[in-house]
């Protein structure tokens, strides 16, 4: 199982769905960085919006085992442990292909029947997004002290669309304002409609997917490399580590296919502050794998959760959750934070 991501910094996730704990080790972080443990916990708590029914917390608060002394990184590997809550004894299902939409079958084939298929192939479940979010929160704090902020919102849930970010003029305040909401949408009325749709789907045993839009502001120009180490390459590799992700597009994305060349190109000019910027941002802040200085924008598509087919198919803990898109918002931010920090470490005078 490839649970280690290594690119200038390394992130190693360990643990299982039914194990006593999950955790993460982050190596090669710069030393001397102030880390606010309470801010990390607030970031991770966003995986359980209070406005969502049946959204129960499944891991404890992170316990930092190494790598931080007196709230400062030491340069040693930063290791955090999270105890699993609401654990249930596994009930073995005889046929891993009996539940469509889950990774039971593929996990059983890949690991020759030794994986815990009774818990949706335990390696692939959302408990392990908790240590992923811990790593993203740490990286986000380091970036924010350099003025770089990442935020995301639910751009679409089922057929309901939120207002989009302004891809050219999005600001730090706009990013932070949506991050502070319990249900992360720009238009609150659309958020109420989404919550009602989620409740309706749950009442009939159905599930919903959606799209999360994410933006990183104040990313300096020159971050990344062409070909295989591009900024979007790194973001994509981490993003597809989040359960349920089915698609990713930057800037205008697939919409570029229906544009003419002069519609797609972003014209550069020098603004009143003397900065070289573009009038539009169809490129999503990345050109040739390298940041342009414009906001880095992307949209991430999530499939619906596997629906309940029978009473025996219900999730083994708490109640059925018909939509995990709201819980995935901080996960998307985490992927961007980790990717940005890994490239920023090569930026002159970053440390």
The domain 4-344: what is its CATH number? 3.60.150.10
Closest to 348 in 3D by CA, of 222, 225, 219, 217:
222
Closest to 328 in 3D by CA, of 37, 7, 55, 3:
55
Give per-residue pLDDT as tens, 227-270.
999 999 999 999 999 999 999 999 999 999 999 999 999 999 99
Share of the chain above pLDDT 90, in %: 72
Instruction: For CA atoms 75, 1, 315, 206, give the dihedral sign.
Output: positive
Q: What gap in Å lies between CA 195 and CA 52, rounded to an integer?
A: 7
| Phi and psi, residue 196, nearest 5° | -65, -35
Q: What gap in Å lies between CA 133 and CA 335, rounded to an integer?
A: 8
Q: What gap in Å lies between CA 67 and CA 30, rounded to an integer?
A: 11
- Retrieve residue 259's tokens: 């544009």
Instruction: Please identify which residue in the block is written with the tokens 């955090």.
Output: 80
Three-class secondary structure of residue 318 per DSSP: coil
Q: So what's the pLDDT on residue 108? A: 77
Closest to 345 in 3D by CA, of 24, 26, 25:
26
Which residues fall within 8 angstroms of residue 226, CB to CB, at 6 or more apart? 288, 289, 290
120 pLDDT band, cuts 50/70/90, is very low
Closest to 214 in 3D by CA, of 136, 127, 266, 288:
136
147, pLDDT greater than 60? yes
Angle, alpha carbons 286-334-349 (nearest 5°): 60
Give per-residue pLDDT as tens, 69-116.
999 999 999 999 999 876 655 555 556 655 666 676 777 787 777 765
The domain limits of the chain are: 4-344
């Amino acid at each position: 199982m490839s649970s280690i991501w290594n690119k200038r910094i390394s992130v190693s996730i360990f643990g299982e769905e039914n194990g006593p704990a999950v955790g993460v080790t982050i190596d090669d972080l710069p030393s001397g960085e102030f880390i606010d443990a309470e801010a990390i916990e607030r970031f991770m708590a966003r995986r359980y919006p209070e406005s969502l029914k049946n959204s129960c917390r499944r891991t404890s608060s992170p316990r930092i085992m190494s790598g931080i002394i007196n709230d400062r990184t030491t340069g040693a590997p930063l290791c955090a442990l999270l105890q699993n809550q609401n654990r249930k004894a596994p009930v073995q299902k005889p046929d891993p292909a009996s539940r469509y939409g889950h990774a039971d079958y593929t996990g059983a084939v890949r690991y020759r029947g030794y994986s815990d298929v009774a818990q949706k192939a335990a390696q692939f479940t959302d408990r392990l997004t908790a240590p992923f979010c811990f790593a993203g929160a740490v990286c986000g704090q380091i970036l924010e002290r350099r003025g770089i902020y990442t935020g995301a919102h639910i751009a679409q849930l089922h057929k309901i669309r939120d207002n989009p970010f302004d891809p050219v003029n999005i600001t730090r305040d706009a990013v932070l304002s949506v991050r502070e909401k319990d249900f992360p949408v720009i238009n609150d009325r659309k958020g109420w409609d989404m919550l009602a749709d989620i409740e309706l789907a749950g009442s009939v045993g159905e599930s919903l997917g959606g799209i999360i839009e994410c933006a990183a502001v104040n990313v300096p120009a020159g971050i990344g490399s062409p070909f295989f180490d591009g900024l979007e390459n790194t973001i994509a590799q981490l993003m597809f580590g989040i359960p349920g992700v089915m698609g990713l597009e930057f800037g205008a994305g697939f919409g570029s296919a229906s544009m003419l060349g002069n519609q797609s190109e972003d014209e550069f000019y020098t603004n009143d502050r003397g900065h070289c910027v573009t009038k539009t941002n169809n490129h999503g802040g990345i050109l040739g794998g390298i940041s342009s200085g414009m906001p880095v924008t992307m949209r991430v598509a999530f499939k619906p959760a596997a629906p309940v087919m029978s009473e025996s198919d219900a999730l083994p803990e708490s109640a059925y959750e018909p939509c995990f898109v709201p819980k995935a918002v901080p996960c998307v931010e985490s992927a961007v934070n980790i990717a940005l920090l890994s490239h920023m470490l090569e930026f002159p005078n970053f440390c």
